[in-house]
Amino acid sequence: MEVLDDYSLGEEQLSEKEADWKLFIGKKFDYYRPIWQKIEAGNKIQFNVYAFFFWSGWAGYRKMYQIYFILVALKLLSDYIPHFLNFPPPAASTVSILFFGVYLFWGFNANFIYYKHATKKIAQIKSTGLSKVLEETSLRNAGQEDMAFPLGAGFIIFILVLCLNSVLGIL
């Protein structure tokens, strides 16, 4: 009979930092781990297709609420500034086309911004001196996913935009 070590076969040992990442990220840890390792190695720009297509919703889903509202504000500004400044329709369309660059910038930088957000939150939690169990719970609660926020906030913003469009006569 063969004696096995104390760890399970096939399980890779994680560093303390990676264990914290796993608690913070949740079920997508295997997706983000190599990306974040590349970021730490100096490769900060990597395209995130989910962030590109789901834009501010992705930020809200990843609990980056401040970034979510900044992105929504940028989009609303790009939509309404041409209207308030009485741009002719071709110029207003040009603003929308130029705003596509912001989408591209976000798609290429979202992973780095998420990494910075996570490392800041993890450091804040670890500096509080909580017990190991409370620290792990706090990491899970601060990170992982939140589908309710982008759906709820998105719905409220949608209603507010409809009301604003109605008042401005844009509909």
CA 138 centroid distance within chain: 18
pLDDT exceeds cutoff 80 at 89:
no
The predicted pLDDT at position 8 comes to 45
Prediction pTM value: 0.85
- Summarize the confidence of residues 36-48 as an average pLDDT: 93
Q: Mean pLDDT over all residues of the chain?
A: 88
- Summarize the confidence of residues 107-135 as an average pLDDT: 95
The predicted pLDDT at position 96 comes to 78
Which amino acid does the sequence have at 122?
Answer: I
- Summarize the confidence of residues 64-92 as an average pLDDT: 87
pLDDT bracket for residue 10 (50, 70, 90)? very low
The predicted pLDDT at position 11 comes to 52
Name which of 117, 107, 108, 149 is nearest 21 in CA terms.
117
The predicted pLDDT at position 9 comes to 40
Percent of the chain with pLDDT over 70: 92
pLDDT digits (tens, 9 = 90+) for 11-29: 578 899 999 999 999 999 9
